[in-house]
Amino acid sequence: MNKKYRLDGRIWINCGEYPSIGQGKIELLIKIREHGSLRQAALEMKMSYRQAWFHVSNINHSLSTPAVILSRGGKDGGKAVITPSGEKLIDTFLTIQADFEHFLNEQSLKPGLLEI
């Protein structure tokens, strides 16, 4: 039947009493940085605007400094800007995530998991 198993997992940043931040929210931040628009970011992630807005709201409340500045009105109707604090969050998470994937691969190759 099953000949191969591999270790899988997820990590996130625990913010105490506030909502955690993981892969999904980080990807959203990256899309926001790319487009400068929350709506565009949500569309590209096939996520409802509402949900994306809640994500951003949660992220900003979880951190001591906002990661995204949203503003409405104006020439383009509004915009979304990643702050330096947001940039640092993205960078830190991606670095840790890379280490984590290395850990998963390493453990997947160990005899224990292969011999179940």
Partner DNA sequence: GATCGTTATGTTTTATCAGGAATAACGAAG
Partner DNA sequence: CTTCGTTATTCCTGATAAAACATAACGATC
Residue 75 within binding range of DNA, rule CB under 7 A: yes
**Which pair of tokens denotes residue 63?**
């951190």
- Considering only the stretches 15-23, 53-61, 91-99, 103-111, report the one whose residues sit in contact with DNA under the rule CB under 7 A: 53-61
The three-class DSSP label of residue 68 is strand
Give the residue from 54, 53, 81 showing the smallest Cα distance to 67.
Answer: 81
Q: Using CA atoms of 13, 36, 69, 96 in order, give the dihedral in degrees to the nearest 10.
A: 20
Residue 76 within binding range of its own copies, rule CB under 8 A: no
From candidates 48, 51, 92, 105, binder to its own copies by CB under 8 A: 92
Residues near 35 by beta carbon (within 8 Å), at least 6 away in sequence: 41, 44, 80
Helix axes of 49-62 and 23-35: crossing angle, nearest 10 degrees: 110
- Considering only the stretches 25-33, 34-42, 43-51, 81-89, report the one whose residues sit in contact with its own copies under the rule CB under 8 A: 81-89
What residues numbered 32-51 form the site for its own copies, per CB under 8 A?
none
Residue 96 touches which member of DNA, its own copies, none, C-beta under 5-8 Å by kind:
its own copies
Site for its own copies, rule CB under 8 A: 1-16, 18, 20, 62-64, 85, 88-89, 91-92, 95-96, 99-100, 103-104, 107, 110, 112-113, 115-116
